[in-house]
């Protein structure tokens, strides 16, 4: 009897693959044990260094990476910024001992999907990973107020978009598909998807249609 086909990328039945990055072995061991008990989550690796974390994210392409903010080699925000620059699709969740606004803002500005403090309940950590895998944010209550103030201070005007994001949005407003945009800009389709994700977040809109309506009212190229 032949083996059943492996689930396609994005299949709802596919496991959530997770990379753990923290320089405390005991914490990594506890996280691995916790996540191995959770249905549908598979830990594919663990590292203690920021540069190795970035290398493993690129190599393993986990759905979610749980990272400390202050790793040796590269910090959490530096890893997040590189993940964005390289258009990698891994969602990052910070798991930190720090509640300071500078750490929260550093991670969110760099593109992290969530920020948890280390004393969160195990069920909360699992829920945050599942939310990140869906593309949703998740923040500890003790830092959520800072995140809200930061988001409100980031207005959705075109000066907040990069030149490439404005180009993508301009084409979206003209009814182009991601494939057509990729061909026109000579980039990979996954790169267009990455830009679209950033555009929706920056404009604080929920859909491609809303982004196109916004563009028709605001953007001039």
The last residue of a domain, from among 152, 184, 200: 152
What pLDDT is stored for residue 149 in this prediction?
A: 53
Alpha carbon distance 80, 9 (integer Å): 22
Q: What is the mean pLDDT of the chain?
A: 81
Alpha-carbon torsion, ordered 163, 168, 169, 174, to 10 deg: 130
Query: Is residue 120, in this structure, part of any structural domain at all?
Result: yes
pTM: 0.63
Number of domains in the chain: 2
Does residue 49 sit in the same domain as residue 76? yes
pLDDT in tens, 12-22: 468 999 999 99
Q: Where residue 71 sits, what CATH number does that domain have?
A: 3.40.50.2300
Average pLDDT of the segment spanning 110-127: 87
Measured in degrees and rounded to the nearest 5, phi and psi for residue 24 equal -110, 110
pLDDT confidence tier of residue 100, bands split at 50, 70 and 90: confident
Please say whether the beta carbons of 210 and 182 come within 8 A: no
Least reliable range by pLDDT among 77-86, 108-117, 155-164: 155-164
Closest CA to 67 of 46, 37, 39: 46
What pLDDT is stored for residue 219 in this prediction?
A: 55
What pLDDT is stored for residue 162 in this prediction?
A: 79
Does residue 148 sit in the same domain as residue 87? yes
What pLDDT is stored for residue 4 in this prediction?
A: 41
Alpha carbon distance 79, 179 (integer Å): 28
The last residue of a domain, from among 122, 152, 182: 152
Q: Which tops the pLDDT comparison, 220 or 162?
A: 162
Q: Which tops the pLDDT comparison, 92 or 219?
A: 92
Does residue 55 sit in the same domain as residue 133? yes
Helices (H) and strands (E) in the chain, counts: 10, 6
Strands 64-67 and 41-47: unpaired
Does residue 138 sit in the same domain as residue 176? no
Does residue 141 sit in the same domain as residue 170? no
Please say whether the beta carbons of 173 and 216 come within 8 A: yes
Does residue 67 sit in the same domain as residue 35? yes
pLDDT in tens, 124-180: 899 889 988 987 767 777 776 565 555 444 444 544 777 778 778 878 887 778 888
Alpha-carbon torsion, ordered 200, 204, 210, 213, to 10 deg: -100
pLDDT confidence tier of residue 7, bands split at 50, 70 and 90: very low
Q: Which tops the pLDDT comparison, 188 or 64?
A: 64
Average pLDDT of the segment spanning 176-185: 81
**Residue 4 CB partners (closer than 8 Å, separation 6+):** none
Write the CA distances from 208 to 183, 191, 193, integer angstroms: 19, 16, 11
Residues of the chain above pLDDT 90, percent: 36
Residue 117's Cα: distance from chain center in Å?
A: 17
Strand pairing partners for 66? 20, 93
Domain that holds residue 189: 158-218
Residues of the chain above pLDDT 70, percent: 83
Q: Where residue 206 sits, what CATH number does that domain have?
A: 1.10.10.10
């Amino acid at each position: 009897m032949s083996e059943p086909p492996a689930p396609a990328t994005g299949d709802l039945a596919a496991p959530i693959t997770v990379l753990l990055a923290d320089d405390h072995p005991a914490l990594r061991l506890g996280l691995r044990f916790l996540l191995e008990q959770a249905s549908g989550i598979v830990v594919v690796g663990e590292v203690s260094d920021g540069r190795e974390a970035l290398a493993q994210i690129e190599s393993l392409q986990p759905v979610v990476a749980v990272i400390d903010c202050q790793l040796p080699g590269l910090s959490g925000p530096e890893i997040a910024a590189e993940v964005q620059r390289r258009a990698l699709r891994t969602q990052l969740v910070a798991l930190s001992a720090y509640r300071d606004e500078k750490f929260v803002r550093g991670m969110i500005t760099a593109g992290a999907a969530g920020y948890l403090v280390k004393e969160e309940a195990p069920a909360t950590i699992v829920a945050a990973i599942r939310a990140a895998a869906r593309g949703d944010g998740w923040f500890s209550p003790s830092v959520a107020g800072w995140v809200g103030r930061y988001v409100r201070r980031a207005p959705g005007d075109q000066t907040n978009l990069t030149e490439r994001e404005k180009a993508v949005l301009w084409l979206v407003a003209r009814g182009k598909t991601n494939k057509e945009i990729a061909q026109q800009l000579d980039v990979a389709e996954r790169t267009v998807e990455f830009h679209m994700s950033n555009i929706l977040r920056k404009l604080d809109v929920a859909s491609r249609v809303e982004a196109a309506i916004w563009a028709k009212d605001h953007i001039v190229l």
